[in-house]
Structures are given as structure tokens and as C-alpha cells.
């Protein structure tokens, strides 16, 4: 877990942290993205898009895709825009917003991704319900976490941060109406959980 405030990066230190996370989360993204059936021209939403490296990688995994990135931290959106400057307002569209009230129409996306972000969602059930709402039938919600053991972990305690087990994430997905949930475990506490929209 990086130093600073990963929930809401601000200022120069926040920018530096976002740039570090763009690099340090690469192994996590490589691990989780291997379980997605990538196709051309997908409509994708990256919730809690941070510094934009997840978006940058998905642009190549899904040629012709349209990728929306949402974050509630203005510094995150600024770094994400710089990371993806060649594709801004062409294939990449960033928006300030709240995961508990996604500003998108129902059934708008083939894939919703949440990389190292669910720890900070204040209303987790509502957030999962919103992610399910904006998915098309047959679409997937992918959650990637480096921390997945709520009891035995070495992360420093931070107010407003909750670590969820894979079983808790699965229950949240099923509670939001998703099915065919898959749990993939990586090194240490790394976990990828994927649910499908009926």
C-alpha cells in the first residue's frame, strides 16, 4: 500500500503517488486481464480509474474500444488524462463522479473494471448494484485487489478503508444480480473476481 492518501490523491504528492501506482499495479493488471475474453470495439468503464494506466492497457487489449474512466479525485483525472492524452475525447472519456451513483445509462458497457479501488467505496452494496446496472447482458464486472484477507494482512490501518475477502466480493456480486462468478487467486493476497450480467 503506497504512502499518502490512495483514496483521494491530492497535489504534488498525490500526482507522484498516482504515477507510482500506474507502474506498481502492472503485475496485478497483467494477472487479472488474462481472464477476460477481449474483443474489438468494446465499451468499457474503469471505475476509480486513478492515474489511467488501466485504461491505457485496455486500449491495446480491445482495439477500437471506447473507454470511460470515472474517479472522484480531480488529481486522478488530471494524471489519467495525461497518461492517455493521445486518445482523450476520441476513445477515452473521463468524468468526475461517484461509484454509488454512476452517471451512465443502464446497459451501456460490455466490461466494468475496478482495480485496487473497492477498499474505499463508502456504500459497497450500492456501488456493486450501480456497476451491474450499467453492464449489458453478458457483460462482466472485474474486480482486482492486492489485499484480500481482512484479518491477516500487513497493510496500515486507514480510516474509510475496508479489505474484502474473495467470498465477500462474490457475495456482493451475486447480491447485485451477477452470476457465474469466478475467483482467481494470484501471489500473496492478489485476487481477481469476475461476475457476469445475466
At 179, which helix (H) or strand (E)? strand 178-185
**Predicted local confidence at residue 8, as pLDDT:** 60
Kindly state the percentage of the chain with pLDDT values over 90: 83
As a whole number of angstroms, the distance between CA 83 and CA 87 comes to 9
* pLDDT tier, 10 (very low <50, low <70, confident <90, very high otherwise): low
pLDDT (tens digit per residue) in 95-123: 999 999 999 999 999 999 999 999 999 89
pLDDT (tens digit per residue) in 131-180: 999 999 999 999 999 999 999 888 877 778 899 999 999 999 999 999 99
Burial 159-185 (b: 16+ CB within 10 A, else e): eeeebbbbebbbebbeebebeebeeee
CA triplet 31, 145, 97: central angle to 5 degrees? 115
- Give the predicted TM-score (pTM) of the model: 0.92
* pLDDT tier, 1 (very low <50, low <70, confident <90, very high otherwise): very low
Kindly state the percentage of the chain with pLDDT values over 70: 94
Q: Give the range among 32-41, 52-61, 114-123, 154-163 with minimum mean pLDDT.
A: 154-163
Amino acid at each position: 500500500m503506497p504512502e499518502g492518501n490512495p483514496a483521494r490523491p491530492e497535489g504534488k504528492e498525490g500526482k507522484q503517488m498516482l504515477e507510482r501506482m500506474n507502474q506498481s499495479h502492472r503485475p496485478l493488471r497483467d494477472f487479472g486481464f488474462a481472464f477476460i475474453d477481449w474483443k474489438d470495439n468494446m465499451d468499457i468503464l474503469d471505475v476509480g480509474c486513478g492515474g489511467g494506466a488501466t485504461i491505457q492497457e485496455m486500449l491495446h487489449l480491445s482495439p477500437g474500444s471506447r473507454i470511460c474512466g470515472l474517479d472522484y479525485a480531480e488529481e486522478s483525472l488530471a494524471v489519467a488524462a495525461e497518461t492517455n492524452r493521445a486518445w482523450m475525447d476520441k476513445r477515452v472519456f473521463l468524468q468526475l463522479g461517484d461509484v454509488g451513483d454512476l452517471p451512465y445509462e443502464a446497459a451501456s458497457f460490455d466490461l466494468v473494471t475496478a482495480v485496487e479501488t473497492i477498499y474505499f467505496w463508502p456504500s459497497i452494496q450500492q456501488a456493486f448494484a450501480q456497476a451491474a446496472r450499467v453492464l449489458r447482458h453478458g457483460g462482466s464486472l472485474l474486480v482486482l485487489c492486492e489485499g484480500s484477507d481482512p484479518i491477516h494482512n500487513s497493510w496500515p490501518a486507514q480510516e474509510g478503508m475496508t479489505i474484502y475477502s474473495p467470498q465477500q466480493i462474490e457475495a456482493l456480486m451475486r447480491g447485485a444480480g451477477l452470476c457465474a462468478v469466478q475467483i482467481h487467486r494470484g501471489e500473496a493476497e492478489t485476487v481477481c473476481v469476475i461476475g457476469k450480467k445475466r
